[in-house]
Amino acid sequence: MPRSKFGDIYRDLKYKIESGEYPYQSLVPSENTLVAVYSCSRNTVRRALAGLIEAGYVQAIQGKGVRVLYRPVPVARAPFTLGRMESFRETALRCRTSYQTRVVHFSMTQTDGAMAAASGFPPGADVYHVERVRIIDGRAMVLEVSYFLRSVVPTLTPEAAEQSIYAYLEKELGVQIMTSKRTITVERATPADRLYLDMGSYDCLAVVTNQAFNADGILFEYTVSHYHPEYFRFQDTASRRGKKAE
């Protein structure tokens, strides 16, 4: 379902880079060449390139060309990588591992003052409270504590939570995540972490708090994920100019 031309070009170029057709340190064809290849305007080519730049795949150099910075990641050191906006299920599929979700808590409650301040929910709002353990290759590696706003997510069941909640939200309720704010910190393992995860001798873990907004700009999900250190990895790319020059 190609919904945009620049998206098609983005994916095509990305594939050509990943497959080695445009190797590390080489220059991709010039914008004008790509205009001819894809039969589109320069504007459209530039939008596709902008996506690759943001993804860290290439770097544009004025007057020279667009250089490939992508190199395949050694698989051994990438058991579980964050970076893009994807669900646990998508991540597991991408990594080709067996996965499983266990719901260890499910209830309905209301936000109190402290929780509202931390999450961004309005105080006294009705929310679902779900706690899940993510299991990869038989090892419990993530403990996720989630809250869903009932005014946006009116019905939620432990069964849906056991599967992919996002698939359920999108297909059954028509709720889509449009924007997502994430914060990563390192914190000491709590008793709950030790109870549910195979912490071994580790006493800290990676904590990712996530706020998700739907298409109406309403904050409807607040999730705190506790990752086992050995299964946490986050990748990121930053470019200096060309975007905002702050």
Partner DNA sequence: GCCGATTTGTCCGTATGTATC
Partner DNA sequence: CGATACATACGGACAAATCGG
Q: Which residues bind its own copies (CB under 8 A)?
A: 3-4, 7, 10-11, 14, 25, 51, 53-56, 59, 61, 67, 69, 71, 74, 84-85, 117, 120, 176-188, 201-206, 213, 215-217, 227, 229, 232-241, 243-246
Specify the DSSP element, H or E, that contains 126: strand 126-136
Are 136 and 143 spatial neighbours (Cβ–Cβ below 8 Å)? no
Residue 32 engages DNA in binding (rule: CB under 7 A) = yes
Q: Which one of the spans 44-52, 74-82, 83-91, 193-201 is the region binding DNA (CB under 7 A)? A: 44-52
Kindly calculate the radius of gyration of the chain based on its CA atoms and give it in whole angstroms.
21
- CA distance between the termini of the chain: 36
Query: Of DNA, its own copies, none, which one sits near residue 184, judging by CB under 5 to 8 A according to partner kind?
Result: its own copies
36 or 195: whose CB is closer to DNA? 36
Binding mask 170-209 for DNA (x = CB under 7 A): ----------------------------------------
96 or 240: whose CB is closer to its own copies? 240
Which residue, 52, 48, 56, is CA-closest to 31?
A: 48
d(CA 84, CA 234): 9
Pick one of 61, 73, 78, 93: the residue that binds DNA (CB under 7 A). Answer: 61
Are 212 and 87 spatial neighbours (Cβ–Cβ below 8 Å)? no
CB of 22 to its own copies, least distance (A): 13
DSSP secondary structure letter of residue 26 = P
Are 129 and 204 spatial neighbours (Cβ–Cβ below 8 Å)? no
**Cα 51 from chain centre:** 16
CB of 220 to DNA, least distance (A): 15
Which residue, 74, 55, 65, 72, is CA-closest to 26?
A: 65
Q: Which residues bind DNA (CB under 7 A)?
A: 3-7, 27-28, 30-33, 39-44, 46-47, 49, 60-66, 215, 241-242, 245
